[in-house]
Amino acid sequence: MKQGVYSVLKARFLVNEDATKNWRFILFLILLAIIMIANTHRYEQKVFRIAELNNEVKELRSRFVDRRSQLMKLRMESTVSKKMETRQIYPSQVPPQKITVKQKEEKGFFAKLWE
């Protein structure tokens, strides 16, 4: 047991006759480690990008709400009437009346035929 640990510490498994198998395995492990590190790096980049986009969405949503409230204020009748008073256009004192137009019913083909 003592001799086995001592040979591992001296790295004799890297210089023996069958060391090519060991080197291949070590290179395979190194390649796997590099792939894992690259994968983690790409994952973290995506997480940061998602966080940036979420912040941008929140900002745009708040701007939208602000603009919508400004638009609602501008569309109010009192605001419009105040702006029109500067052009000497005043609101009507007489309320509007609804006009209905009745269309003449068209007779079908058979109704016209029997007339």
CA dihedral 38, 44, 50, 51 (to 10 degrees): -160
Give the pLDDT confidence of 48-77 residue by residue, as tens digits: 999 999 999 999 999 999 999 999 998 998
- Packing angle of the helix pair 77-85, 19-75 (nearest 10 deg): 60
- Write out pLDDT tens, residues 17-53: 777 777 888 899 999 999 999 999 999 999 999 999 9
The structure tokens listed for 13 are: 């498994």
Domain boundaries, the chain: 2-88
pTM value is 0.52
As a whole number of Å, the end-to-end CA separation of the chain is: 119
